């Protein structure tokens, strides 16, 4: 099995939105970041993967199986934004609940993670901060032999220190080649730190699915005036945006463009800038 998750032609139609032929994969041992503006289809995609909504068309293969049976569900750790557990419980009591839900529940791992995350086992969850609740969710996800972690905006609203701790935890998990992660986030700087691949969804469709290093090391932005923009070879332009005082042009090979346009100001592009240009800009030829 080369891919922990393979999605092909995933389609789901709502009254005012359509997820249209979404296809991408999560290779084993990798971290894949799912990006896109609010309403682009990230959560719909994740809900379809987890079987929380019924797809209209397409296929979803999770850990080698298209039918998500109880064995596969045991191997998926899920973390959503917000608290997923009854707040009247303590982590200690949650441990007892989880060992009845998961056949592969590992109490030793869970209690060790509570200590590692400095989470009090006897304190009620309702007394936890948001960061503590997210750490608890991660602890649960890592305590039942998960092979695939799926996180939907799990770092949203956390302070930078807690976010950094969580990213370290995810990186550590993915060191095992049998472990994989799909994480949706609007905090693209987090994905620049940990992701191996980036999947960009816009208006229900995949714009690109690429290795992160291709984006951060090869993509660039030409910043120029109107005359220089008009002189550009239009086949070099992926998307462009006219600002108040300059044009911003997205290119896929900044080293080649530096040779082709030696007088042009060409800067590296962040994932955030790439996404913004696609969403706000216009397509090249």
Give the model confidence (pLDDT) of 157-192 as tens digits: 778 888 888 899 899 999 999 999 999 998 899 999
Res. 195: pLDDT tops 80: yes
What is the pLDDT averaged over residues 5-18?
94
pTM given for the model: 0.91
Tens digits of residue pLDDT in 103-149: 999 999 999 999 988 999 999 999 998 888 988 999 999 999 899 99
Query: What domains, with CATH codes, occur in the chain?
Result: 3-214 (3.40.50.300), 219-283 (no CATH)
Nearest by Cα to 76 from 4, 15, 3 = 4
Residue 241 near residue 251 (C-beta atoms within 8 A)? no
User: What is the model's pLDDT at position 1?
Assistant: 66
Tens digits of residue pLDDT in 17-55: 999 999 999 999 999 999 999 888 999 999 999 989 999
Position 245 confidence tier, pLDDT thresholds 50, 70, 90: confident
Res. 284: pLDDT tops 80: no
Res. 213: pLDDT tops 90: yes
**Residues in contact with 156: Cβ distance below 8 Å, sequence separation at least 6, in sequence order:** 81, 185, 186, 187
> In degrees rounded to 5, what are phi and psi of residue 20?
-120, 95
């Amino acid at each position: 099995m080369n891919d922990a998750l393979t999605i092909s032609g995933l389609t789901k139609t709502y009254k005012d939105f359509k997820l249209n032929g979404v296809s991408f994969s999560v290779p084993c041992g990798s971290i894949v970041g799912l990006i896109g503006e609010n309403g682009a289809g990230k959560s719909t995609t994740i809900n379809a993967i987890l079987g929380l909504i019924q797809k209209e068309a397409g296929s979803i293969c999770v850990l080698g199986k298209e039918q998500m049976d109880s064995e596969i569900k045991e191997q998926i750790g899920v973390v959503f934004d917000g608290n997923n557990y009854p707040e009247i419980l303590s982590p200690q009591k949650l441990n007892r609940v989880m060992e009845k839900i998961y056949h592969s529940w590992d109490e030793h791992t869970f209690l060790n993670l509570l200590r590692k995350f400095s989470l009090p086992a006897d304190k009620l969850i309702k007394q936890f901060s948001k960061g503590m609740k997210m750490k608890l969710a991660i602890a649960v996800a890592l305590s039942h032999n998960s092979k695939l972690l799926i996180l939907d905006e799990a770092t949203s609203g956390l302070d930078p220190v807690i976010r950094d701790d969580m990213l370290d935890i995810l990186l550590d998990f993915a060191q095992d080649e049998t472990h994989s992660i799909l994480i949706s986030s609007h905090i693209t700087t987090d994905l620049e730190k940990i992701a191996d691949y980036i999947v960009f969804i816009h208006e229900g469709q995949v714009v690109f699915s690429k290795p992160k290093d291709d984006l951060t090391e090869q993509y660039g932005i030409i910043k120029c005036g109107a005359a220089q923009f008009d002189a550009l070879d239009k086949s070099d332009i992926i998307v462009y945006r006219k600002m108040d005082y300059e044009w911003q042009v997205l290119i896929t090979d900044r080293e080649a463009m530096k040779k082709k346009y030696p007088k042009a100001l060409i800067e590296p592009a962040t994932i955030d800038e790439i996404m913004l240009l696609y969403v706000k800009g216009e397509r090249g030829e």
